[in-house]
């Protein structure tokens, strides 16, 4: 069963720019010269630059400009794909066509190249906000420059894809904290009112002692997780960026991009991170697809107190679908999320049978949109100059997700300590990439890329 790969020319955004679905659909940008700054008519105007103009970046910009807390405007955009930027600018402008001045991005502040991220940030003043919504491989590079420029940051999840970059971004974050920069991470479920109340109820003992957690994201082919061969005449690097879900160095693959929300919200309810994991997975019905992903993943995480968390992921057509998370306790069970990210429809049941007769509590409907709430919270922290930094938590959610992926890809039990100290960096030197650079991952003579071989390649996820 083949899946048509995306080319830089054909790449479509993967979600409606207002209705967020929570998967990253951004392209990467990178390095260089200064651009003229834009000064707002009023000093309290927050200026925003968007780096990574795919679907998720576009949605984040719309959410940013929708905050009702003082003047805010979009003044610069950056991407490596001109059509991404053009489409994004048009969609954002259409969303605010009745609000003059919200979108102020003339051609001279639209930057396309690997040095575009610097040019877009150079437009801003210290204290403004940059949205980092490229594939996560580039996150630490862009975050480093944002810190240097004194910018507040919204960065999409995941924030890392391997051990070395997790350590690096947590070290960088110390500098952000020293500068009192406000940094949000796009794990918007943490801002969901329903989940927040459920967390308080679980911590208050309403389901008793947690003895098991489980979560699922089982769907058909998603994003670019399965992608076909590179078209003739297409740059290897740009082809991989356009199909970033298919390549571990860019995104962490289907696990890191698609399962991180379920893993994060489930660990949140436990109020802890697991210490080890073992897992399995496999590739099925591949046809001419050349990506590095498995189609199914089954992970068993263990917390320090022995509690288990089971995670199931699948991107195969024709199979049963489920997109939900659960917590089981000695007195009852909780539905953390019901179907997709929002609305969560969080609820608690007496006992372990989720039927109406056992319903003990449910969050009222409708729920506020967490994609908007995370932006409301960030801008409020900036306006009020409150401490606000989600990077360490975002990095932990990212590395815990990656360790489950590594366990499946190697066939080994992986501990959190092993993952944090693992030296295999998928894309060393990524900060030196240009449009003419070779891709960090190269295809073989047959056009296929290295894939995980559990039980054979045990120390890292693939050999390049």
Mean pLDDT for the chain?
A: 91
What is the H or E stretch that residue 198 is in?
helix 193-203
Q: How many CB atoms lie within 10 A of CB 98?
A: 6
3-state class (DSSP) for residue 65: helix
Residue ranges in 13-115 assigned as alpha helix (H): 55-65, 82-95
pLDDT band per the 50, 70, 90 thresholds, residue 390: very high
Question: Tell me: the pLDDT tens digits for 265-285?
Answer: 999 999 999 999 999 999 988
- Residue 246 in 3-state DSSP? helix
- Residues 6 or more apart whose Cβ sits within 8 Å of residue 19: 59
Residue the block writes with tokens 């459920």: 198
pLDDT digits (tens, 9 = 90+) for 25-73: 233 333 333 344 443 345 799 999 999 999 999 999 999 999 999 999 9
- CA 423 from chain centre, in angstroms, equals 22
Q: Mark residue 192 as left, alpha or beta (left: phi above 0; alpha: psi -120 to 50; beta: remaining).
A: beta
Q: What is the pLDDT of residue 41?
A: 40
Domains and CATH numbers, the chain: 46-189 (3.40.50.720), 193-367+390-432 (3.30.360.10)
* Contact indicator for 154, 64 with CB cutoff of 8 Å: yes
| Contact of 449 with 441, CB cutoff 8 Å | yes
Q: pLDDT (tens digit, 9 = 90+) per residue, 216-264?
A: 999 998 899 999 999 999 999 999 999 999 999 999 999 999 999 999 9
In this structure, what DSSP letter does residue 164 have? H
pLDDT, tens digit (0-9, with 9 covering 90-100), for 357-381: 999 999 999 999 999 999 999 999 9
- Token readout for 74 is 């979009």
Q: What proportions of the chain, in percent to the nearest 5, are helix, strand and coil?
A: 35, 20, 45
Among 50, 169, 66, 61, CA closest to 109? 50
Per DSSP bridges, beta strands 308-315 and 183-185 are unpaired
Q: What is the pLDDT of residue 216?
A: 98
Is it the case that residue 19 has pLDDT exceeding 80? no
Kindly tell me if the per-residue pLDDT of 318 is higher than 70. yes
Beta sheet of 322-329, edge-to-edge order = 359-362, 347-350, 332-337, 322-329, 210-219, 308-315, 296-302, 276-282, 414-415
Q: Rounded to 5 degrees, what are φ and ψ at 12?
A: -100, 150
Cβ neighbours of residue 417 under 8 Å, at least 6 residues apart?
275
| Whether the model pTM is above 0.85 | yes
């Amino acid at each position: 069963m083949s899946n048509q790969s995306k080319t830089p020319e054909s790449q479509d955004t993967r979600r409606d720019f207002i209705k967020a679905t929570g998967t990253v659909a951004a392209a990467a940008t990178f390095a260089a010269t200064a651009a003229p700054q834009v000064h707002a008519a009023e000093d309290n105007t927050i200026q925003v630059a968007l780096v990574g103009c795919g679907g998720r970046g576009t949605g984040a910009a719309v959410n940013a400009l929708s905050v009702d807390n003082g003047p805010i405007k979009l003044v610069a955009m950056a991407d490596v794909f001109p059509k991404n930027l053009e489409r994004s600018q048009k969609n954002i402008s259409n969303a605010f066509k009745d609000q003059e001045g919200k979108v102020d991005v003339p051609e001279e502040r639209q930057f396309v190249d690997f040095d575009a991220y610097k040019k877009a940030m150079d437009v801003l003043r210290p204290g403004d906000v940059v949205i980092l919504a490229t594939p996560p491989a580039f996150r630490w590079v862009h975050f480093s420059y944002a810190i240097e420029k004194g910018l507040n940051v919204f960065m999409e999840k995941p924030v890392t894809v391997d051990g070395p970059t997790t350590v690096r971004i947590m070290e960088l974050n110390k500098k952000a904290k020293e500068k009192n920069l406000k940094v949000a991470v796009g794990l918007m479920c943490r801002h969901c009112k329903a989940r927040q109340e459920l967390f308080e109820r679980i911590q208050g003992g309403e389901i008793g002692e947690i003895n098991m957690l489980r979560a699922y994201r089982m769907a058909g082919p998603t994003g670019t997780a399965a992608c076909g061969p590179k078209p003739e005449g297409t740059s290897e690097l740009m082809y991989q960026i356009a199909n970033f879900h298919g390549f571990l160095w860019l995104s962490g693959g289907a696990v890191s991009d698609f399962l991180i929300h379920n893993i994060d919200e489930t660990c949140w309810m436990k109020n802890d991170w697991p210490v080890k994991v073992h897992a399995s997975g496999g590739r099925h019905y591949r046809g001419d697809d050349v990506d590095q992903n498995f189609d199914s993943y089954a992970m068993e995480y263990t917390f320090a107190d022995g509690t288990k968390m089971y995670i199931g992921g699948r991107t195969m057509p024709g199979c049963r679908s489920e997109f939900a998370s659960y917590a089981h306790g000695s007195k009852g069970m909780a539905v953390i999320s019901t179907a997709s990210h929002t609305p969560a429809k969080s609820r608690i049941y007496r006992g372990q049978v989720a039927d109406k007769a056992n319903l003990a509590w449910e969050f009222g409907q409708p729920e506020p949109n967490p994609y908007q709430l995370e932006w409301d919270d960030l801008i409020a922290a900036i306006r009020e100059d409150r401490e606000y930094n989600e990077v360490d938590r975002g990095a932990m959610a990212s590395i815990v997700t990656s360790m489950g992926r590594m366990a499946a890809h190697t066939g080994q039990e992986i501990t959190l300590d092993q993952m944090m100290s693992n030296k295999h960096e998928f894309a060393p030197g990524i900060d030196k990439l240009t449009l003419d650079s070779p891709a960090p991952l190269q295809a073989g003579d047959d056009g296929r890329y290295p894939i995980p071989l559990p039980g054979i390649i045990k120390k890292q996820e693939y050999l390049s």
